[in-house]
């Protein structure tokens, strides 16, 4: 629910701004909240742990790259489509398990994977009057899902050494912000950080929700199995479509294909989870 709420608020803010400003506010709020808590309550010995290397690598690809791709997807095809397409992670997780780790999944995994592929076809299809985006634009949220799958695996490994969700959130957010600032300053795009007050308000609200969602994400990863947590995280598409129907009717076209596709996506996730 948190990631879905973050997506909708960012969509409102992007009307008068861009993804660089959205990411800056998101990381700045996350770092301020999480590091303030850690400094006040936790010894900083964890900075010497090898687990910070995993958090550093994870921070290089998510949230920075994954969020940039997802926000770009929101800009191009809207929340109602980008959100469900972002939920294809279990498909990639199953694919990696079969091709790299030689796992032998049961028939429920194949059924779930088939439903997810079907949902991609439904969500990516166009209907009459819906011509303001291209099929290639769907690659942005799908790529974000692939990157997120890799990142979650790294985070799970790090949480085995430092089972503190606040340390995890602080590590990945700090690395992502540093890389974002380096990219913007070296490419001369500092002007992208300018934003209207309305956009800032939406981005700030989205960032606060994202911080809570991130903490819950790390708590879940630390306590549960990766193969179960990733599919459960990807029930987000249903909430995304629901929130879009409530709040984004004036900005996006939400048709029956999107609703049915999101339902197929979550059904596929459920089958993979209960395998």
Give the residue ranges of the chain where pLDDT is below 70. Answer: 94, 96-97, 100-103, 105, 120-121, 124-132, 225-228, 230-231, 234, 273, 275
CA torsion through residues 249, 134, 232, 27, sign:
negative
Q: Kindly report, residue by residue over 162-207, the tens digit of the pLDDT.
A: 878 888 888 888 888 898 899 899 988 888 888 889 999 999 999 9
Task: Check residue 79 and give left, alpha or beta (phi > 0: left; psi -120 to 50: alpha).
Answer: alpha
Q: What is the pLDDT of residue 147?
A: 86
Q: What is the pLDDT of residue 127?
A: 57
Q: What is the pLDDT of residue 209?
A: 94
Cβ-based burial of 163 (10 A; exposed 0-12, middle 13-18, buried ≥19):
middle
Q: Kindly report, residue by residue over 42-72, the tens digit of the pLDDT.
A: 888 888 888 888 888 887 787 778 878 888 8
> Alpha-carbon distance 203 to 80, whole Å?
18
The SS3 of residue 103 is coil
CA torsion through residues 267, 246, 71, 181, sign:
negative
Tallying the residues shown for the chain, one arrives at 275
Q: What is the pLDDT of residue 65?
A: 84
Question: ω into residue 226 within 30 of 0, thus cis?
Answer: no
Q: What is the pLDDT of residue 262?
A: 78
Structure token pair of residue 51 = 């687990």
> Alpha-carbon distance 82 to 150, whole Å?
19
Spacing of C-alpha 178 from chain mean position: 19
């Amino acid at each position: 629910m948190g990631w879905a709420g973050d997506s909708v608020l960012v969509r409102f803010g992007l009307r008068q701004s861009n993804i660089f400003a959205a990411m800056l506010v998101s990381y700045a709020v996350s770092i301020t909240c999480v590091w303030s808590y850690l400094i006040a309550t936790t010894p900083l010995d964890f900075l010497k742990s090898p687990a910070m290397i995993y958090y550093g690598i994870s921070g290089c690809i998510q949230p920075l790259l994954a969020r940039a791709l997802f926000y770009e997807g929101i800009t191009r095809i809207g929340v109602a489509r980008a959100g469900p397409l972002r939920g294809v992670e279990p498909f990639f997780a199953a694919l990696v398990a079969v091709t790299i780790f030689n796992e032998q999944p049961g028939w429920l995994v194949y059924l779930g994977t088939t439903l997810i592929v079907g949902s991609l076809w439904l969500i990516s299809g166009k209907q009459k009057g819906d011509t303001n985006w291209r099929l290639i634009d769907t690659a942005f949220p799908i790529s974000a899902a692939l990157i997120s799958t890799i990142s979650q695996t790294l985070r799970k490994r790090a949480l085995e050494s430092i089972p503190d969700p606040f340390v995890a959130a602080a590590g990945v957010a700090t690395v992502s912000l540093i890389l974002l600032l380096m990219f913007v300053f070296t490419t001369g795009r500092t002007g992208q950080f300018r934003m209207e007050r309305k956009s800032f308000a939406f981005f700030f609200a989205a960032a606060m929700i994202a911080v809570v969602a991130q903490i819950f994400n790390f708590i879940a990863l630390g306590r549960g199995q990766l193969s179960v947590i990733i599919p459960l995280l990807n029930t987000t598409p249903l909430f995304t479509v629901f929130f879009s129907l409530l709040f984004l009717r004036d900005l996006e076209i939400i048709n029956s294909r999107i609703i049915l596709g999101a339902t197929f996506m979550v059904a596929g996730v459920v089958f993979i989870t209960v395998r």
